Amino acid sequence: MFVFSTTLLCIYVFAFCWVYIRRIMASEETTIWRAMIKTPASIVLIVYTFIAMWFVGGLTAFHLYLISTNQTTYENFRYRYDRRANPYNKGVVDNFKEIFCSSIPSSKNNFREKVPREPVLPTRPGGFMSPNMGKAVDDIEMGRKTVVG
């Protein structure tokens, strides 16, 4: 829905920039080129939305294809059901009904449940516990192996 609404927004902005240029042409009785010179922001938006429409429009078309065949992106690019028919494909109309008209099952997560307290970490024999105990030494985001101290 996000990609589809973005496509509609691009079409809307593109169309109304042209409407604005036409209104300038009509009110000042001038050529299209002079009207475009009067509103450079509209020209920038026309070019930008024209280019963006190809990307988001193509993405919308691809997602409509995925919905119509009841596939995920991963299944489409990698899995391919080992050259067999997709067992989840119910036909175009029923696939769209399943996506847009079926109810969403309730979550299995209870987000309002109280979190249990963590158990107390054991201390060393002298009663001293290292502040780094149980913490990763290296940065996980850097792709290095973590060393637990």
Domain boundaries, the chain: 2-101
Q: Return the pLDDT at 147.
A: 57
Type of residue found at 91: G
At residue 87, the pLDDT reads 80
Per-residue pLDDT of the chain (149 residues; tens, 9 = 90+): 899 999 999 999 999 999 999 999 999 888 988 898 899 999 999 999 999 999 999 999 999 999 998 888 888 887 776 677 888 888 889 989 988 888 888 888 888 888 888 887 766 666 666 666 655 555 555 555 555 55
Residue 84: the pLDDT is: 78
Looking at residue 61, what is its pLDDT?
95
Supply the pLDDT for residue 119: 83
Q: Strand, coil or helix: what is 107? A: coil
Is residue 4 a contact partner of residue 60, using CB atoms and an 8 Å limit? yes
Q: 3-state class of 124 per DSSP?
A: coil
What pLDDT does 57 receive?
Answer: 95
Eight-state DSSP code of residue 105: P
**SS3 letters across 59-77:** HHHHHHHHHHHCCCHHHHH
CB 36 within 8 A of CB 56: no
| Angle CA 141–143–147, to nearest 5 | 90
Angstrom CA distances, 141 to 102, 131, 134, 145, 147, stand at 39, 21, 18, 10, 14
Q: How high is the pLDDT of residue 142?
A: 53
Query: Residue 17 burial (CB < 10 Å; 0-12/13-18/19+)?
Result: buried
CA separation for the pair 69, 74 (Å, rounded)? 13
